[in-house]
Structure 1
Amino acid sequence: MILFIQANDFAVWDIIMDNPSIPLKQKKKKKLLVLKSKKEWNEKDRRSVQLNTNVMHTLFCALGPDEYSRVSSCSNVKEICDKLEVTHEGTNQVKKSNVGIITLNYETFKMKLEEDIKVIPIDSTLSSMG
């Protein structure tokens, strides 16, 4: 998906990664960011929102029904990408946990008493192929 978006318009990828395409402004004398009204949008804000909308449309058209139902409530492309990444790859914590489980299984792998290294069990799916 990253390559697809970058190939269509690299500026879109920058907006996805740097700005969720929601025009914000800093509130006076405070460090809070608030939404700009549409009247306050400048040309850059409009371009950013338009690029976000174009990519969302492209993704919605390209996704299957299951993925679409997962991301249809997202309001910007960054949310869509994050949700799809978690859905298909898992979070970093899940990945680390899976690596730990696989490593433990490998380290505790042992041959059973009734098994012989010279005997290869024939799987029914393999025997039906030949």
Structure 2
Amino acid sequence: MRVTDDPLIPVMQGDEGKVIPKSNAQYGEVDYKMLEKNAKAKCILVCALGPNEYSHISGCTTTKQIWGILVNAQEGTPQLRKFGIARLCTKYEAFKMESGESLQDIITRFIIIVNGVVSLGKIC
């Protein structure tokens, strides 16, 4: 199971071959293990978040919903990504030492710009 997949819901064959969800009383060991995996994945995602991120996902019921919100919050919409790439590429191309800046500050600032561009999937 991946967090990008829909949650696995225990199902069974119903009348006329239709697939219907099982009731809790019909769950078996395999069903409980499947549900446990989803709960663990959700717990890992929720526990890794700070209070600001948690407020965005507190209403989510599945790991897929949580993951979608987190990806959108980090990467943004395609338009925001393009804007972010353009902004960072401009900073990269215009990069120069500022007055009174130490070598360590220059390197740190440069690494932040490069990492930002790479995280958005672009190389200037």
TM-score (norm 2): 0.56
Gaps of 5+ in 2: 103-124
Q: Deviations over 1:48-89 (max 9, x none)?
A: 111111222222221111111111221121221112112211
2:78 corresponds to 1:95: yes
Distance 1:74 1:85 in 2: 14
State the match for 2:107 in structure 1: none
| Structure 1: unaligned runs, 5 residues or longer | 1-13, 107-119
Match of 2:49 among 60, 63, 76: 63
What residue is the counterpart of 1:48 in the other structure? 34
Q: 1:20 offset after TM fit, Å?
A: 0.5
| Greater relative contact order (CA < 8 Å, ≥ 6 in sequence) | 2
- Tell me, yes or no, if the aligned pair for 1:21 and 1:76 is still in contact at 8 Å: no
Instruction: Give 1:129's aligned residue.
Output: 101
* Contact 2:4/2:63 (8 A) holds in 1: no
Q: Distance in 2 between matches of 1:79 and 1:23?
A: 19
CA contact (8 A) 2:10 2:21 kept: yes
Q: Does 1:29 align with 2:2?
A: no
Tell me, in whole angstroms, the C-alpha distance in 2 between the residues paired with 1:22 and 1:62: 25
- Specify the structure having the higher radius of gyration (Cα): 1
Number of residue pairs matched by the alignment: 95
CA shift at 1:26, angstroms? Answer: 5.2
Distance change >3 Å, CA 28–CA 19, structure 1 → 2: farther
Instruction: Indicate if the aligned counterparts of 1:24 and 1:36 stay in contact, CA closer than 8 A.
Output: yes
Q: 1:20 aligned to 2:3?
A: no
Percentage of pairs with the same residue: 31
**How far apart, in 2, do the equivalents of 1:102 and 1:19 lie?**
31
Cα gap change, 1:27 to 1:128, in 2 (>3 Å):
farther
Change (3 A) 1:34 1:48: same
CA distance in 2, matches of 1:51, 1:102: 36
Shift, 1:100, TM fit: 8.5
Q: RMSD of the TM alignment (CA)?
A: 3.5
